[in-house]
Structure 1
């Protein structure tokens, strides 16, 4: 019975070897195994020459470095191809309007609708509007609520003077009854006029600002 089991194991082992798919290329592990096997089976009376051994280990070190460089280069190519693919896919957003998280906005002759979310019940809510030079042009107090809020700005400054259409930004400060500042998240919207790459990231150009994909809330025609 023991002999029969041994034969079965031998047959199985041979079968596995025969079914094993041969490698088309040798890697650094194969090279190292060959080197170790050579050392284990060398003639004790005629060992491997030191200079020859050093040459082989040097070859192994060079092979390992080349393989590592090749792997890094392949990853770089994959990242570049993935980045280009994302860029080409993002082109379909051009001429579409997107809602996004951010405080930049573009005002036309009628002004602009500002949107923001407040986490908590505010006792006071103040909105500050700045022009494209960073100068404050408007401060207004509104009645904020917990959740979604909107404010329609008529493009006038603190003196009631009509300003020119253009690019602006805004800030919202909401405080509770104890004077503690509440978390506020601002959002805006605009039409996508272009798509570009910044590093390995794809961004959407709205003219007055650039928006990253993870900042987009919604997209519509």
Structure 2
């Protein structure tokens, strides 16, 4: 841990910079408890006898190092607990492999001309058009669907662009544009669904892979529904 004030202590006791560096660890200005105690004793031995340090100054230095040392131990314990809780969460999430789930996401996976299951829900009737975009945000296809009543609809896309050409397999995104009777844009809730194939273990953002080895990836926090193994209900 970095200890501030050591250089000032060294100047008070007349210890050279090279001597102070010999007491430090290989971490530059980082020293352990033994290094600090050696430096502290050297300070006592080399202090000016005509102007010795006051007891409160010595106590302040000891308190400073002790506080930092304790904080370092607390931080190490927190990191251990974090790793422990993360392993527990991973274990619980792994139990969802093989389950049918619904997740809030706008992705759609194209594989050999077949698409993964993607849906959207309208709260009011609206004129609807779907825009298919690739991972770079480039518009691939626009599908006009006309007026649709409120309800849930599946995205139907043949895997072709606006020119009628089959696009490469991969992950695409569906943008739903819905305009109500007053001419106002209305939001549509978009979901993907399918069976969880695998769990991608990323400590910052673990993701489930839905539908197969090259399926849609969704974050754990986006899952809104988990169904029983036989699809008879939700848990």
Q: TM-score, normalised by structure 1?
A: 0.64
Q: How does 1:66-105 map to 2 (within 5 A)?
A: 66-105=69-108
Other structure's SS at 2:79 match? helix
* CA gap 1:105/1:183 in 2 versus in 1, 3 angstroms: same
1:55 equivalent among 48, 55, 58: 58
**Equivalent residue for 2:226?**
219
Give the number of equivalent residue pairs.
171
For 1:30-179, what aligned pairs fall within 5 Å after superposition? 51-108=54-111, 109-122=113-126, 124-132=127-135, 134-142=137-145, 143-161=147-165, 165-179=169-183
Unaligned 5+ residue runs, structure 1?
1-48
Against the structure 1 CA distance between its residues 53 and 164, is the aligned structure 2 distance closer, same or farther, given a 3 Å change threshold?
closer
Mapped pair 1:196 → 2:196: no
Name 1:37's counterpart in structure 2: none
**3-state SS, counterpart of residue 206 of structure 2:** strand
C-alpha RMSD of the superposition: 2.8
Does the CA-based 8 Å contact 2:208-2:218 persist in structure 1?
Answer: yes
CA drift of 1:115 comes to: 0.6
Moved more, 175-184 or 202-211: 202-211
**Which of the pair has more CA radius of gyration?**
1
Deviations 1:50-93 (A, max 9, x none): 63332223212222222222222222221121112211222223
Comparing both chains, which one has the higher relative contact order based on Cα–Cα distances under 8 Å and sequence gaps of 6 or more? 1
Q: Give the CA deviation at 1:132.
A: 5.0
- Give the Å deviation of 1:106: 1.6
Any idea what the Cα deviations from partners look like across 1:159-211, whole Å, max 9, x if unmatched?
55555654322110001123211112211124332331232x43223444432
Contact 2:108 2:117 in 1 (8 A): no
Partners of 1:110 and 1:180 in 2: how far apart? 33
Q: TM-score, normalised by structure 2?
A: 0.61
Decide which structure has greater helix share. Answer: 1
183, 187, 202: which one pairs with 2:187? 183
TM-aligned CA distance change 1:97 to 1:106, over 3 Å: farther
The verdict on how the C-alpha distance between 1:62 and 1:165 changes in structure 2, with shifts beyond 3 A counting, is: closer
